[in-house]
Chain A
Amino acid sequence: MSEARIDHMTYLPDMENIGSDIQDRVIAAMESYDPEKYTAEDVRAALEKDVLTPEDYGALLSPAATPLMEEIAQRAQAETRKHFGSSIQLFTPLYIANYCENYCIYCGFNCHNKIHRAKLDYSEIEKEMQAISSTGLEEVLILTGESRKMSDVEYIGEACRIAKKYFKVTGLEVYPMNTDEYRYLHECGADYVTVFQETYNSDKYETLHLAGHKRIFPYRFNAQERAIRGGMRGVGFAALLGLSDFRKDAFATGIHAYLIQQKYPHADIAFSCPRLRPIINNDKINPKDVHETQLLQVMCAYRIFMPFASLTISTRECARFRDNSIKIAATKISAGVDVGIGGHGDNERKGDEQFEISDGRNVKEVYDAIKAQGLQPVMSEYIYL
């Protein structure tokens, strides 16, 4: 690689700097977090509290907590039912473009990966949305690769306008943008914004995100805050577990959400908990030390620390894990998932997928699986206002 690397901690000219102190506070908390210092007693003491402190949250994520998973899961389940009853929200992601200007070495969409690139035009987006809507879903999550050139804000905005015709709730998982751009997309119909920070360890981040706007760590970090200021109802957080020390990354993710909620108490908070998945042209990528037990531990810790937050379980995980996780901690589950470009219903596949999914069940199958557990599938939890 001979291309000159730009400084990953310095904003580029068009990037809005809102001057927030949250990043410094999250990084400081993460750096002082030592997962090894906790004992089983610390974990039990944390579980006995009504409201957990960040310190207690750290205990739940520690190796000392892993042998206590049953107790932790019981508490998580109690919190989930207390705050969400039996409701499980359904949604599906819709990838409208996979062009990307970033070079993130673990991602199938990265600009140096030779995959079939495509972008849906507006009539193709509408056809995809019609196909999704006909399955009964009322919430859609619009995704693009991160290319401002190929998928500009106006293009995403038009997709939101089309989505408004078919869905009650539209979420976005696209490249981070400025406050006024979020405001524009909210006016077009989008309700919430999810941005994965991937890893909160900025040194590690720098080695994984070699080029593109995504390389700029602080601009990505402050995306949720800009989205809220732009009028979005809710924001989602995630670290891609397995990129770096997953306990520290999960800790930072929770603290990030915690501080945002404190600063913007009206905002809805959501977590996703992705693990690394194999991608096209690179089968060596694996979640390493994040096994199912650890993944469930992270999910339960999110739930107990912020019991009111929505928690999404991805199709990166298999049906068995997903069906069990909605019994314990997850409150939102995708169904009928296709992570390529085009291909819903009878529509033709136009571009390759971002990663391999593990749970290919359609909406009806996931719906029935939720019901079979005595839980209540919910198609819409918001009104666009």
Chain B
Amino acid sequence: MPLGTARGWYGDLTAAEQNLAVAVAVVLGGLILGAVTAWVVRRVLVAFSLDEAVEGTPFERTAQQLGSSSVRLLAQLCGLFVFTVAAVYALRTLGVLPSELFIQELVDFLPRVFIAVLVVMVGLIAADKAELVVGEQLRSIKLPEVTLIPTLVKVSVLYVAVLIALSQLGVATGALLVLLAAYAFGVFFLGGLAFKDLLSSAAAGIYLLLTEPYTIGDEVEVAGNRGIVQEMDVFVTYVEDDGEEYMIPNRMVLREGAMRVRET
């Protein structure tokens, strides 16, 4: 019986040889498990069509120049992590590592490094992707200053990713956090202040579009402007009267109410 012979062979070895055999087995197992993990992760990422989502980002292009791809890199990273864990375990079995304490620290630290690297990678890809998407949305606006916005979005995403990675590694990030808070405050508070009218118009506009109390072709009076509704979108209603077209923000419609003229 092969299993019996193997056990007999194992029993004949000295303790040191036994450890070596276990270590080799663990390393081999780690290799296989790492490869399987990488394969599974890759399949999952492809199944979520991440490879299409990241297409065209600078990160993906760099990866492709190096003969790889973002998906493959991410998968390889996961596989590498699994293998590293196996390798550490094998080294411990062999007793090569100096002390139990060191191993304990290593075990604590490794996942953090892994997550930090993962976060930075995902952050890089997400930042590139965000830059692309925002840039595409703004492409119809032919204004040189507008190119600043995609860059700003990219830097913000990267900043948050780096912050997470650093805090994973245990680096003091207090100052950076304060900066982030100030930045978020600026974006949300001041942005909210600036977009206040747009936001309230959009909220009203969604109600108006869903319920359609009036529609294109109806005669209405809103805030003193009477005419025929020509166009409704999320933000404004266009009311036209004898060649004069009023652009009425939708929040006015809800605040002041609208009068719809019904023919008898």
Q: A and B, one complex?
A: no
User: Which residues of B are interface residues toward A (Cβ below 8 A)?
Assistant: none
User: Which residues of A are interface residues toward B (Cβ below 8 A)?
Assistant: none
